[in-house]
Amino acid sequence: MEFKNLQTQITKIFLANLKRDKIKISEDYLMLKINEELGEFMQAYLVHKKKCRPEKYLYSTQSKKEMAKELSDVVGLAFVISKILKIDLEEALTKKWITREWVKKK
């Protein structure tokens, strides 16, 4: 699936879920939500690394799946935020990471 199509579909699903749950979208809500999702990813990471209470331990395959699910939430929210803020995320990623246009030269 192409980047922009993926971003559009994720945003559409996210906004539909907010509407279903009667949650008003705002930039503040999105900033809080991505922090919540990052926290959930960090918790999954700690479980995977067994840096948590033993009763939370999971088999490695399950903990890796949980990390993947939570990381997909973080990335998905980044897609949504960029769409709402009208940031071309594909272009930004390219300029930051691929062409290095946005990296300070030493």
DSSP SS3 for 103: coil
The answer to whether the CB of 44 falls within 8 A of the CB of 66 is: yes
Note down the domain range covering 45: 3-98
Report the amino acid identity of residue 43: Q
Cα–Cα dist 70/55, whole Å: 20
Q: From CA 21, how far away is CA 5, in angstroms rounded? A: 24
The total number of structural domains in the chain stands at 1
Residue 41 lies in a domain: yes
Report pTM.
Answer: 0.90
Residue 34 lies inside a defined structural domain of this protein: yes
- In this prediction, residue 29 carries a pLDDT of 98
pLDDT digits (tens, 9 = 90+) for 57-105: 999 999 999 999 999 999 999 999 999 999 999 999 999 999 999 998 7
Residue 28 lies inside a defined structural domain of this protein? yes
103 part of a folded domain: no
d(CA 67, CA 94): 25
CA 32, CA 34: separation in Å to the nearest integer? 6
The CATH number for 81's domain is 1.10.287
